[in-house]
C-alpha cells in the first residue's frame, strides 16, 4: 500500500499543497491515504506526519514529493528512514535532490546508504567540536554546564544563619538567590553540612 505525506511551511494559506497532491495522486496514491501538515520543517510537532508513520505497515511504501518535505534535517531524516526500514516499510521520493531514493530497490537503498553515512559523519563532527570546545573552556578555567546557584560564600552564610533561632528560611533563600530545595540539599536546618555542601567545598 502507498501512503503519501505533504507539507508546507506556512499555515496562513499563502502556500498550498496542490503541486505535491497532484504528484502524489499521479504516483498512484489514493486520496484517503494522503497526510498533510502545515508547519515548518524544523518544528517537532507535526501531527499528520506522526499519524502517517503510525499508519504504515510492513510492506507499505511512504511517498513524498521532495525529501525536504519529510525530515527536519539530515539526521532526523536518516532516523525516520532507519525506523521505516526496521519495520519493513519503503520510502520513495518523486522529485528534487532525493529523487534517486527508493528504498524498495537496490540502487535506492545504496543512495540512501550514502545519506546515512553523511549523517553519521555530521554527528561525529558535532561531537568532536563539542569535546574540543569544552576542553578549550576548561583550559581557560571555565567548566561546561549550568552555573551553580549555590557558591561557597553563600553556603558559609547559610551555615551561619541556619542555626540561629530568628532566621526565616524564606528570607534567607531570597537573599541567597536559591530555592528551599537547593538550600536544604547543602545544609541542614541546624547549619550542618550535607553531602552536596561537602562536594561544593571540595570543588
3-class DSSP state for residue 146? coil
Residues of the chain with CATH 3.40.50.1390: 2-121
Rounded to whole angstroms, how far apart are CA atoms 84 and 107?
17
Question: What pLDDT score was predicted for residue 63?
Answer: 94
Helices (H), 7-73: 18-26, 47-55
Question: What pLDDT score was predicted for residue 168?
Answer: 87
Instruction: Say which of 9, 107, 127, 161 is annotated catalytic.
Output: 9
Task: Tell me if 77 sits within 8 A of 71, measured CB to CB.
Answer: yes
Strands 34-38 and 2-8: parallel
Q: Which of 73-77, 132-136, 180-184 has the highest mean pLDDT?
A: 180-184
Joined grid coordinates for residue 165: 533561632
3-class DSSP state for residue 168? coil
Task: Indicate if 9 belongs to the active site.
Answer: yes
Q: Evaluate if pTM is beyond 0.75.
A: no
Looking at the domain that runs over 2-121, which CATH code has it been given?
3.40.50.1390
Amino acid at each position: 500500500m502507498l501512503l503519501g505525506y505533504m507539507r508546507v511551511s506556512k499555515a496562513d494559506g499563502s502556500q498550498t499543497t496542490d503541486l505535491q497532491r497532484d504528484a502524489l495522486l499521479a504516483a498512484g496514491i489514493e486520496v484517503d491515504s494522503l497526510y498533510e501538515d502545515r508547519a515548518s520543517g524544523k518544528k517537532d510537532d507535526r501531527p499528520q506526519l506522526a499519524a502517517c508513520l503510525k499508519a504504515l505497515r510492513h510492506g507499505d511504501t511512504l511517498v513524498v514529493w521532495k525529501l525536504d518535505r519529510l525530515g527536519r534535517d539530515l539526521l532526523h531524516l536518516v532516523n525516520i528512514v532507519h525506523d521505516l526500514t526496521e519495520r519493513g516499510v519503503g520510502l520513495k521520493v518523486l522529485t528534487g535532490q532525493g529523487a534517486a531514493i527508493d528504498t524498495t530497490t537496490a540502487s535506492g537503498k545504496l543512495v540512501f546508504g550514502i545519506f546515512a553515512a553523511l549523517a553519521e559523519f555530521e554527528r561525529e563532527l558535532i561531537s568532536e567540536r563539542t569535546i574540543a570546545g569544552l576542553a578549550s573552556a576548561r583550559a581557560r578555567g571555565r567548566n561546561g554546564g549550568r552555573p551553580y546557584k549555590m557558591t561557597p560564600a553563600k553556603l558559609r552564610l547559610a551555615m551561619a544563619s541556619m542555626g540561629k533561632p530568628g532566621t526565616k528560611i524564606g528570607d534567607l533563600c531570597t537573599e541567597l538567590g536559591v530555592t528551599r530545595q537547593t538550600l536544604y540539599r547543602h545544609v541542614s536546618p541546624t547549619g550542618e553540612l550535607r553531602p552536596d555542601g561537602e562536594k561544593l567545598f571540595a570543588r
